[in-house]
Structure 1
Amino acid sequence: MQRPRHFSMLRDFQLADWFTLANAFCGTGAIFAAMRFLLEGGTSADGRSDLLVGMALIPLAFIFDALDGRIARWRKVASTLGRELDSLADVISFGVAPAALGYACGMQGGWDWVVLSYFVGCGVSRLARYNVTAETLADGGDKVKYFEGTPIPSSLAIVILLAVAAYQGSIGDGLWLGAWQLGPWQLHPLVLVYALSGSLMISKTLHIPKP
């Protein structure tokens, strides 16, 4: 019996899967950029440039995410592996990375942590539900006809909003809308855009046609 070769799993990857991994690579880079920004103390122009580079990786991840599906359909190689890879990459790029960037921008109060964690949890739940119900939503076809709830890449809108704030220097203590002291913890009202985004992701009544 022939022994499997090292890295033989990579031989099973299709072209679309590599675009999916590029999506995950961009999301991971954005998280590292947020960490570097925080490590360097982050209020200087140079520090903000690191943060802005990290934010720019999210639209790039969005492009890779759009291309992987198109390539899979073009080459007719859609698979369960590809769908799972896509979901895992999306959790990184459009769930964890936007939350990390929000934290780096100054949403660091106790209530902010709760909301950011809720947002990531909604994103994970949204993708898990999609994977489970994809065949049902396809209604016997080979393509899902609509999304239940907003797709997780819609969090790109939050990153664009944060990029504008970072470019203007309105982060940290100068974050838009300031901060509220609610009991023992702080809440930055801007973090509520994450709560809205997460809630829309897990909606079952909101149907969005899939292009």
Structure 2
Amino acid sequence: MANSSSTTTPADKKPRKHFSMIREFHLADVFTLGNAACGVGAVFLAMAYMSSKSLTHFLWAAALAPAAFVFDVFDGRIARWRQTQSALGRELDSLADVISFGVMPAALGFAAGLDGGWDCAVLVYFVCCGVSRLARYNVTAESLSEGGNKVKYFEGTPIPTSVILVAVLAAAALKGRVGDQVWGGAWQLGPWLLHPLVLLFALSGTLMISKTLRIPKL
């Protein structure tokens, strides 16, 4: 009679798969997750600002954008230094960037008063452009690197350039030009409001998905 203790069941193997995935994470991935954490924290602070109207909440949310950028810069450099680039790391980086440089600036813009119907359409367009930009980068990274271990140039502006939008919003908040006093005022176009300031998001998104604009990667 076979010893039942020697039989391996699928349930026995499942934890091993989880441990295997944990072992695939590297130091660079920790920095990538730091990037994502900054983005999520900023979204929470933007929501807190909408209920409290505390300038502190808004400014802390804005401050997490450059913090996310620092994490984003260092995760790539650490991966190259330790020679631990991987498909998992690239996917993690893109997912973190969507949060920190796509969803977060849009959420902060909405909290700042860009909440009209046309504003929301533009903010959705901006986030979709960012997602499309990252997806295209992932599928073309190998060809753009020309056989090396680093991409030579970007097609379209990188999504972290949205920190400029966050800086504009932070400057507006410091001057009290958010909410009903948002820079540029508001236009009534048909059934919805448009705040001209949101057009910066439209410009940023359009530049991200441009295929003619090539920017050398430092």
TM range (shorter): over 0.9
Are residues 1:100 and 2:107 paired? yes
Q: CA deviation at 1:67?
A: 0.2
| Aligned residue number for residue 86 of structure 1 | 93
1:210 aligns with 2:202: no
Among 183, 201, 204, the alignment partner of 1:176 is: 183
Deviations 1:52-98 (A, max 9, x none): 00110010000000000000000000000000000000000000000
Q: Which among 11, 15, 20 is matched to residue 23 of structure 2?
A: 11
Matched letter for residue 188 of structure 2: Q
Whole-angstrom distance in 1 between the partners of 2:23 and 2:42 = 28
The match for 2:121 is 114
Matched, 1:142 2:154: no
1:39 aligns with 2:56: no
Higher Rg of the two aligned structures: 2
Alpha-carbon distance, 1:105 to partner: 0.1
Paired positions, count = 206
Percent same amino acid among aligned pairs?
A: 66
TM-score (norm 1): 0.95
Q: Deviations over 1:88-133 (max 9, x none)?
A: 0000000000000000000000000000000000000000000000
> In the alignment, which residue of structure 2 is the partner of 1:160?
167
Residue 74 of structure 1 aligns with an amino acid whose one-letter code is: W
TM-score, scaled relative to structure 2 = 0.92
CA distance in 2, matches of 1:81, 1:149: 23
Q: Find 2:41's aligned residue among 7, 29, 49.
A: 29
Structure 1 residue 48 displacement after superposition: 1.0
How far the C-alpha of 1:10 sits from its partner, in A, is 2.3
Per-residue deviation, 1:143: 1.1
Task: Could you tell me which runs of 5 or more consecutive residues in structure 2 were left unpaired when the two chains were aligned.
Answer: 1-7
- SS of the equivalent of 1:13 reads coil
| Secondary structure of 2:69 counterpart | helix
Name the aligned partner's letter for residue 30 of structure 1: A
Q: Which amino acid in structure 2 is aligned with residue 196 of structure 1?
A: L
- Residue from 40, 51, 55 that aligns with 1:48: 55
